[in-house]
Chains A and B, each alone.
Chain A
Amino acid sequence: MQPTEFARLTKNYKQLSDESLVEAIAQTGKTDLFGILYDRYSNKVYGKCLSFVKDEDIAQDMVQDILVKVFTQLAKFQGKSRFSTWLYSITYNFCVEYYRKQNKYHMVDVDETPEVSGFSDDEDELLRLRVDQLRMALERIAPEDKAILLMKYQDDISIKELMDVYDASESAVKMRLARARQRVQVLVKEMDKREEKV
């Protein structure tokens, strides 16, 4: 195929939805079409990696690994959820795994963290937090909690889609979210108390 012909076809493909593009890649075997998905999502993926690692070079390497992984697993995308949801779930899994490996001697397992009963689980209260409070709390909670909160409140992934991501029931997903919200609120209150003492 002539380069100009390919450019014309690529231009047409750019108008396709993510899901149709994935289908087109599977049907035509044209690897170049993945470049369109790269253009749409690479900076988003980069931003998510930067929320787990501060080093930009490491985050850039992670983006490469994640997107190659996504490409090799395209056949597994069944279209049950949006492509972006599927991509972000792979991204967060990768980030959580990376974070765990890097901090294996310092991390407390999510299941071992103390119960936070007694704290109200108020979604509005979470969304009323200041940006600096939320940032500090997210840096301290377990990466799994951070991931589910970012998916729900930053990426606007619905409960139904989260059920697919976690392969869990609605009540299980809601429970995970509630616990993650409570852990953030516990940390924020602890930070507030420390500030008051100073």
Chain B
Amino acid sequence: MSNPFKSLESEKELPESVKDQTMGNVYAAKMIMDIVDLFVGKVGLSAQKLINPGASVHGTIKPADSPAQLDNGIENSPNN
């Protein structure tokens, strides 16, 4: 028994120009994805800094500004 669904398959071929256009769009999409990745990466880094201010990207530890240090700063300001 021949399958009538198979006979319905189109045998038309795409013009060559469609490949150029599609691949052009693919390159553009890739570029946007890379930019987004870069941006998301930076936002992620900033978020990490906000959550854990003591941690540094390069592995060195920066002393966190403790409330005590901030209080000292206020006490020692020229206005006081």
Contact for A46 among B10, B25, B33, CB less than 8 A = B10
- Set of chain B residues within 8 Å of A128, measured between Cβ atoms: 1
Q: Does the CB pair A134–B18 fall under 8 Å? A: no
Q: Would you call B13 an interface residue if the criterion is a C-beta within 8 Å of the partner chain's C-beta atoms? A: yes
Knowing A68-B29, A131-B8, A154-B6, the reply to whether A42 touches B23 (Cβ < 8 A) is no
With A38-B22, A127-B1 known as contacts, the answer to whether A46 contacts B12 (CB < 8 A) is: yes
> Counting CB contacts under 8 A, is A192 at the interface?
no
Q: Which of A56-64, A83-91, A100-108 contacts B (4 or more CB under 8 A)?
A: A56-64
Nearest chain B CB to A118 CB, angstrom units: 24
Bound complex: CA A38 to CA B27 (Å): 13
Main secondary structure of the interface of B (DSSP, over half): helix
Is B13 in contact with A43, judged by CB distance below 8 angstroms?
yes
Interface residue count for B (Cβ, 8 Å)?
A: 25
Question: Distance (Å) between the CB of B5 and the closest chain A CB?
Answer: 4
A contact patch SS: helix
User: Chain A: residues with CB nearer than 8 A to chain B?
Assistant: 31-32, 34-35, 38-39, 42-43, 46-47, 50-51, 56, 60, 63-64, 67-68, 71-72, 124, 127-131, 133-135, 138, 149-150, 153-154
Pick the contact of B30 from A31, A138, A154 — CB < 8 Å? A31
Residue in A64, A138, A153 whose CB lies within 8 Å of B22: A64
